């Protein structure tokens, strides 16, 4: 995995012009034809571009996919994916989804006649009960955003096969370095490449991967038709980020475990949600299907006043949306990432005024703990 992060597809990366070690940025909109009916393999960047191709092949290698498309954002990748389905389709989804996913699903309910059932997908029986004759796919986030629920992907694959459904997994939180849903039976994998894959909070990107050739062909046709392809320069930035994915994630995960353990001991913290803690209800399943717990922590404070004080007093940690970068970020999900989720659903999930989400970076862990300590004081 570490070598794939660096080298990607050896056949592609070893054939750069002039022996360039880094992928060149092919900042061109169009490509000349050698002759009538002939092509260099690229015609127009909306359809394909050599820089983006290398990124897509690298992500395919990391996820075990036959093909991947790189989009302008994670939401663009989800939008593209939903074009695979006909009007009237029903989806069974993890109840605790990224708020942007819920927002686009609500829009599609109105415009396309789609319907969505939000279920605790850790409960296999509840998932099966939610499947109807109109159900076309299971849409899973594990760990979920932001309450860190864990879903058994092998069980979801079993249900998908039994009922003739597609299994879709958002793998943003763990990245392909720690979890490979395709190996667990997923048919489609989506990523916000802005997060761990890019890793530096400096560019937006999204990915849609599949191990199924027929699906890959459909996706490629929609991709070039809709025009959601990532630019050559942004493709270069994400490729550069992936080269350090393994070392970044290892350091972030190490820091997260220390911070989660420290948070457990704080009087003003009532609950800590981190899948690397043995007491987490999804610990064993996550251990079974992944290679680590990642670096996303959520925690609950004793009062709303404490939560707001933390957000306003952190100095090293930034109060900002997003996650997965080298910088540590803290977020107020009820106002930010999940602001569009109906209040009654948020409160049922526990995303309240006292709930905070922390994306742990690669800073010195003692400095991060000291920052949290002074903010909680």
Tens of pLDDT, residues 308-362: 999 999 999 999 999 999 999 999 998 887 776 778 888 888 899 999 999 999 9
Tens of pLDDT, residues 76-92: 999 999 999 999 999 99
Q: Which of 46, 103, 220, 268 is catalytic?
A: 46
* Residue in 191, 164, 166 with CA at minimum distance from that of residue 179: 191
Q: Which of 98, 118, 273, 274 is catalytic?
A: 98
Q: Which of 96, 170, 187, 234 is catalytic?
A: 170
Residue 348 pLDDT: 86
Q: Domain 246-376 belongs to what topology?
A: 3.90.1150
Pairing status of strand 166-170 against strand 188-192: parallel
Q: Which of 57, 195, 248, 300 is catalytic?
A: 195
Q: How far apart are CA 296 and CA 333, in angstroms?
A: 13
Question: What does the pLDDT average to over 360-365?
Answer: 98
- Beta carbons of 209 and 183 less than 8 angstroms apart: no
Verify whether residue 46 is a known catalytic residue: yes
CATH, range 2-242: 3.40.640.10
Classified as helix, coil or strand, 117 is strand
Q: How far apart are CA 246 and CA 66, in angstroms?
A: 22
Tens of pLDDT, residues 301-322: 999 999 999 999 999 999 999 9
| CATH 3.90.1150.10 boundaries in the chain | 246-376
Hey, what's the torsion of the CAs at 110, 123, 81, 297, to 10 degrees? 100
Residues in the chain: 377
Verify whether residue 98 is a known catalytic residue: yes
Verify whether residue 170 is a known catalytic residue: yes
Buried b vs exposed e over 196-221: b needs ≥16 C-beta within 10 Å? bbbbbbebbbbbbbbbbeebbeebee
Question: What does the pLDDT average to over 62-84?
Answer: 98
| CATH 3.40.640.10 boundaries in the chain | 2-242
Structure-token pair, residue 110: 């109105």
| Cα Rg, the chain, nearest whole Å | 21
Q: How far apart are CA 119 and CA 124, in angstroms?
A: 10
Verify whether residue 195 is a known catalytic residue: yes
Residue 12 pLDDT: 66
Sign of the C-alpha dihedral computed for residues 208, 73, 339 and 324 taken in this order: positive
């Amino acid at each position: 995995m570490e070598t794939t992060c660096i080298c990607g597809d050896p056949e592609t990366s070893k054939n750069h012009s002039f022996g360039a070690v880094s992928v060149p940025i092919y900042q061109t909109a169009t490509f000349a034809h050698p002759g009538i009916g002939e092509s260099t393999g690229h015609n127009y960047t909306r359809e394909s571009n050599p820089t983006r191709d290398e990124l897509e092949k690298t992500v395919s290698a990391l996820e075990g996919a036959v093909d991947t498309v790189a989009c302008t954002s994670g939401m663009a990748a989800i939008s593209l994916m939903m074009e695979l389905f006909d009007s009237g389709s029903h989806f069974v989804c993890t109840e605790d989804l990224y708020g942007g996913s819920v927002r686009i699903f609500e829009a599609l309910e109105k415009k396309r006649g789609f319907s969505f059932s939000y279920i605790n997908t850790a409960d296999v029986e509840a998932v099966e009960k939610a499947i109807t004759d109109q159900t076309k796919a299971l849409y899973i986030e594990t760990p979920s955003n932001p309450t860190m629920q864990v879903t058994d992907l092998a069980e979801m694959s079993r249900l998908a096969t039994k009922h003739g459904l597609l299994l879709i997994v958002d793998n943003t939180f763990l990245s392909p370095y720690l979890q490979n849903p395709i190996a667990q039976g997923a048919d489609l994998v989506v990523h916000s490449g802005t997060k761990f894959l890019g890793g530096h909070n400096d560019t937006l990107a999204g990915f849609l991967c599949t191990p199924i050739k027929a699906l890959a062909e459909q996706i490629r046709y929609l991709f070039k038709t809709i025009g959601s392809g990532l630019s050559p320069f942004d493709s270069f930035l994400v490729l550069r980020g992936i080269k350090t994915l393994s070392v970044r994630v290892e350091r972030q995960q190490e820091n997260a475990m220390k911070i989660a353990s420290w948070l457990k001991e704080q009087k003003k913290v009532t609950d800590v949600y981190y899948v690397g803690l043995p007491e987490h209800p999804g610990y064993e399943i996550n251990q079974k299907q992944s290679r680590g717990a990642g670096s996303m922590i959520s925690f609950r404070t004793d009062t709303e006043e404490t939560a707001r004080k933390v957000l306003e007093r952190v100095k090293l940690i930034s109060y900002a949306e997003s996650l997965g970068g080298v910088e540590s970020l803290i977020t107020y999900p009820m106002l930010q990432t999940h602001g569009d989720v109906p209040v009654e659903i948020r409160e049922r999930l526990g995303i309240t005024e006292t709930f905070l989400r922390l994306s742990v970076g690669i800073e010195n862990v003692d400095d991060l703990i000291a920052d949290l300590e002074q903010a909680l004081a």
